[in-house]
Structure 1
Amino acid sequence: MTVNVRGKVLPLLAASALALGMAACGGNADDTDNGGQTSDLSGELTASGASFPDAFYQVAIEAYADVAPDVVINYNSTGSGTGKKEFGEGLTDFAGTDSLVGEDDPIDAGSFFYIPTVAAPITVSYNLPGVEGLQLGQETLAQIFQGDITTWDDPAIAEANPDADLPGTAITIAHRSDGSGTTSNFTKFLDEATDAWNLGSGDVVEWPSNAQGGEKNTGVASVIEQTEGAIGYVDLADATGSGLVFAAIENADGAYVLPTIAGTTAGLEGADVADDLSYNPLNAAGEAAYPITAPTYLLVKAKYDDAQTAELVKGFVTWLLTDGQALAENEFFAPLPTSLQEQALAQLDKIES
């Protein structure tokens, strides 16, 4: 098996995940990097950040308690922006983020590592009774979310949905009100996919004045659920949990694809991976690829002041990248391709104390 320091994400080889974890940990899936047993670890870790992967992280933390019963992990779903801020201020041991560290984040370059964990589709969910199977082109999607298209019977929407009985209901845009990696990835997709988009991209953007904000993915899902005519961007887990209907989105090959784990995995295959393990699967080529496929990461310190904290972080994240990957699909996330999984474990091994 070849490890690419910089290259392409290779197709998922799920069957090798456990073997990979055992190799990375000295032959035993419960081993940590220092040769000890995960079950021998004890202590507490505090983390905060992205709400996008929260469903997966909470299930993983609960399962890890069976492996390491003396380790307590608290992950607070605050949104990526707050997570990066608290990590940079030294308030947490690690952070979750769907967006990369930027100039405005209080985190010094070289002081941290990106550890990719899972990926998932960002759904475009809507509330339009009687209308299912909606298809939205990339340019149309941009025009909707920046307020250029204001009713559901607009000709641009009708053109892609000739068999739909579209009402003249006003469109309500639902968006994140907090700093969000989900917002960053969604707006980055629109910014890269079409020249029609003019609101830029980032954890926070200036939405049309009549748009409605919701805190975290659950808040956006709630706005959509309660507002007829609403449309918004929500992770697959929260959209499914709220019973929302989502649209098929036009991808780079011109195909309309629904947000599924299969479409997410197709989007991961062939994505470029940078030396720091950041990668961009948005609008990936391939007829089966879902175009709004978002990565998510943990931020860990390159050097921890306390050796015990370093070992606790390495123990948990090693497990998350190996045995924990088996939990991903049930929570509507795609596990990492094997090549990226290998690179993440190697990155984790660089942590010092």
Structure 2
Amino acid sequence: MNRTSLRRTLVPAVAAVAAISLTACGAANEDSNDSDKGLSGTLNGGGASSQEAAQTAWRAGFQKDNGGATVNYDPVGSTGGREGFLDGGFAFAGTDSYLSDEEVAKAKETCGTDAIEVPAYVSPIAVIYNLEGVDSLKLSPQVIGDIFNAKITKWNDPKIAELNDGVDLPDADINAVHRSDGSGTTKNFTNYLTNVAPENWPHGAIEDWPIKNGEGANGTSGVVAAVKDNPNSIGYADASQATELGHVEVQVGEGFVAPSAEAAAKILEVSTRVEGRPATDMAIDLDYKTSDSSAYPVVLTSYLVACQQYPDAKTADLVKGYLTYVVGTAGQQAAADNAGSAPLSAALADEALKHIADISAK
């Protein structure tokens, strides 16, 4: 990859987003009734499907304020988004798994300088289930690991029953649903299991599902649909996109915690930055082992990745403007309202905005 890759015409991204419904975009532009207001042009990005609800809200809000702008976001998954950005096809990417060291180096080649990686929001990953007559389900990380590792295969297994005294668990096979595509949600989910229950989940933190068990489904919406359409199923997904399904209460210390934006945000307070990163990289190592029962530990920190410099001023202004809106107060509230995420703390948001403010044309 050479440093001129972003000078290409973004044809791959345009082709990829052609089939995506732009209803939200059109509605926002119609509401503005002023194509001359603010920034103008087309901005193509893509990545984490878990960001889809937030991206829809962000695009609508940004386009309302910038009547001549169109933002396209292709929810191809975190892996696809990072690959699209590193190949020069996307001007920005959304990812639920921060860049690897190798990707950090490749991003520098793509951009010509260190890339910007800033958190967009933190959101709980719900362990979702469809179990008739069961309105409350408590599971330990060890049991969750055994279920997704196909070591526990029946809903009335003694290890599940012991955590759910008085709950009528069916004598039924468990259908464990996982992502079939490369996924930052999978990476965060398996990273949690690796840190807290390594003996029950021995496969490590991975983006691509490592074993042939259960049911694979594409994207966040695919996992949610598979669990919803198949009784006795369990899966994992961004909590905001699975509101009609049961959410497991996960054991933390001596208690059990249900997913919520507030409980997910607690993790960031006790977590540290990834070491050895450029100053423009805000990647965070989450502390999954917390025993604070007010914190929900199965979370994803969703990031936006962009260049510090772009070949032309229009692209630079659009990326800078859009990311500024996303990380700013209005964008964070829009994500909270529409995606159930926890807004960034003032300190994190201010730091991210300083990096975004440095985006410019070469």
1:59-85 deviations in Å (ceiling 9; x for gaps):
111111111111110011110011111
Residue 124 of structure 2 aligns to a residue whose secondary structure is: strand
The alignment's C-alpha RMSD in Å is: 1.7
1:32-43 correspondence to structure 2 within 5 Å = 39-43=37-41
Tell me which moved more, 44-53 or 299-308.
Answer: 299-308
Residue 121 of structure 1 aligns to a residue whose secondary structure is: strand
Query: 1:328, 1:340 → 2: CA distance?
Result: 16
CA contact (8 A) 2:129 2:248 kept: yes
CA contact (8 A) 1:249 1:258 kept: yes
CA contact (8 A) 1:282 1:293 kept: no
Cross-structure match for 2:106:
107
Query: 1:324, 1:289 → 2: CA distance?
Result: 24
Residue 150 of structure 2 aligns to a residue whose secondary structure is: coil
Cross-structure match for 2:311:
305
Letter in 2 for 1:277: M
Query: 1:113, 1:248 → 2: CA distance?
Result: 35
The match for 1:205 among 204, 209, 227 is 209
Query: 1:112, 1:305 → 2: CA distance?
Result: 14
Identity of aligned residues (%): 33
Letter in 1 for 2:223: V
Cα distance, 1:108–1:314 mapped onto 2, change above 3 Å: closer
Cross-structure match for 1:280:
285
Query: 1:155, 1:104 → 2: CA distance?
Result: 44
Cross-structure match for 1:339:
347
Query: 2:106, 2:237 → 1: CA distance?
Result: 27
Matched, 1:261 2:261: yes
Letter in 1 for 2:309: K
Letter in 1 for 2:337: N
Cα distance, 1:282–1:122 mapped onto 2, change above 3 Å: farther
Matched, 1:317 2:316: no
Q: Structure 1-normalised TM-score?
A: 0.84
Structure 1: stretches of 5+ with no match in the other structure: 1-37
The match for 2:130 among 122, 127, 131 is 127
Letter in 2 for 1:255: G
What displacement does 1:255 show?
1.9
Residue 162 of structure 2 aligns to a residue whose secondary structure is: helix
Letter in 2 for 1:58: T
The match for 1:94 among 86, 92, 102 is 92
Cross-structure match for 2:10:
none
1:254-286 deviations in Å (ceiling 9; x for gaps):
321001112112222232234521113352632
Residue 328 of structure 1 aligns to a residue whose secondary structure is: helix
Residue 106 of structure 2 aligns to a residue whose secondary structure is: coil
Cα distance, 1:201–1:316 mapped onto 2, change above 3 Å: same
Cross-structure match for 1:25:
none
1:125-204 correspondence to structure 2 within 5 Å = 125-196=128-199, 197-204=201-208
CA contact (8 A) 1:191 1:198 kept: yes
Letter in 2 for 1:315: G
1:285-334 deviations in Å (ceiling 9; x for gaps):
32210110210011101221112211111111111111211212212111
Cross-structure match for 1:246:
247
Residue 49 of structure 2 aligns to a residue whose secondary structure is: coil
Query: 1:206, 1:284 → 2: CA distance?
Result: 23
Tell me which moved more, 106-115 or 52-61.
Answer: 106-115
Cross-structure match for 2:232:
229
What displacement does 1:213 show?
0.7
What displacement does 1:190 show?
0.4
CA contact (8 A) 1:47 1:95 kept: yes
Residue 93 of structure 2 aligns to a residue whose secondary structure is: strand
> Which of 1 and 2 has higher RCO (CA within 8 Å, sep 6+)?
1
What displacement does 1:235 show?
0.8
Query: 2:139, 2:323 → 1: CA distance?
Result: 38
Residue 317 of structure 2 aligns to a residue whose secondary structure is: helix
Number of equivalenced pairs: 312
1:3-46 deviations in Å (ceiling 9; x for gaps):
xxxxxxxxxxxxxxxxxxxxxxxxxxxxxxxxxxx943211100
